[in-house]
A and B are shown apart, each in its own frame.
Chain A
């Protein structure tokens, strides 16, 4: 309990410090964000981590919705609850499935991207794609994963959150950064990187200076401040190179 209270104090203090970040246009800032995906988003409660970053940065509070089911792809979601959830109206709908590094998986992702984007825009929102990462024993899969999600985002003029690229950029700076929790799922460091990436692209802000400790709806994400700084700088560089917003 003491640790948690201390952590919340740290987050609060960091949030105050972040007010010096260049402000975006709050009138256009999203209020409602829906996450559709699987365990890669669910692990460490990535949506709540994004909300915690937004709270700390002083942008308008986010209402988060989730449709997260382990082992699913976007087609599974389409055949499930996702269409009805999308129709409730969200500013941004974040779409994510498995690594999708093969040509056949890429073709299916692009089909589903077009289908989801049409539905999301009909409900007044913008589609976004969370580029993930390949299995830990398939490092050569990174370019294929990146290409799949980039093409899906370009096809529908959506947001691209290049989290997998942020992993690579982080490893270029510190090859021992522990981003995997197992052979595929993210550690708290990996989730933190993904959250920073989503925040940075969405709000068009530098993520340097954001808190290194977050309360993700009960899951404590604590990163050594030195590592957090390195990761924030890596995310800024990644977004500069690979981030995408609707045009």
Chain B
């Protein structure tokens, strides 16, 4: 599977896809955040807690990616649900997946079979291919 993913990503990265062919996408939903299953606590500020309800990274055969996260910010007296989307392009080098966002921010994840892993100071985000 890793080889298959690598092939798909590689061909997409090299621009080998037929320009008129439909873009195919592979989706990686967030499975855990810092060892917590979803919904996971993302952030606590006194009485306000922000949970991540879902987060999906979608990689296209045209070298584009999109990440859509759904969050909930809640306190004892109010709650809001928000959706957050970032998009851009990606490239693969070895087992590393590099994301370049439209804002010029970058991120990278490790490709581990059907799983993408991203480390942060408090732990790891684990995305598993759908």
Interface residues of A (CB under 8 A from B): 73, 75, 79, 103-108, 110-112, 114-115, 139-144, 151, 155
Contacts and interface: CB of A to CB of B under 8 A. Distances in A.
A102 B114 CA distance: 27
Contacts of A104: 42-43, 50, 71
Nearest to B106: A140
B96 to A, nearest CB: 20
Contact of B103 (A103, A112, A142): A142
Given A107-B80, A110-B73, A114-B78, A140 B105 contact: yes
Contacts of B45: 73, 75, 108
B72 interface: yes
Interface in B82-104: 82, 84, 101-104
A108 B78 contact: no
B102 A143 contact: yes
A187 B75 CA distance: 36
B69 interface: yes
A101 to B, nearest CB: 9
Given A103-B69, A104-B43, A108-B45, A143 B103 contact: yes
A166 to B, nearest CB: 18
B80 A111 contact: yes
Contacts, number: 60
Interface of B is mostly: strand
B48 interface: yes
B47 interface: yes
Contact of B75 (A111, A139, A143): A111
A151 B73 CA distance: 14
Query: What 4 A-B pairs come out closest when comparing CB atoms?
Result: A104-B43, A143-B103, A107-B73, A111-B73
Contact of B47 (A75, A141, A143): A75
B84 A106 contact: yes
B71 A107 contact: yes
A140 B79 contact: no
Nearest to A139: B104
Contact of B46 (A79, A105, A142): A79
17 contacts: A79-B46, A79-B47, A103-B84, A104-B71, A107-B43, A107-B82, A110-B73, A110-B80, A111-B48, A111-B73, A111-B79, A115-B78, A139-B104, A140-B103, A140-B105, A144-B103, A144-B105
Contacts of A144: 103, 105
A105 B50 CA distance: 9
Interface in B8-47: 42-43, 45-47
A157 B72 CA distance: 20
Contact of B73 (A73, A108, A142, A143): A108
A110 to B, nearest CB: 5
A155 B71 CA distance: 15
A155 B81 CA distance: 11
Nearest to A144: B103
Contacts of A114: 78, 80
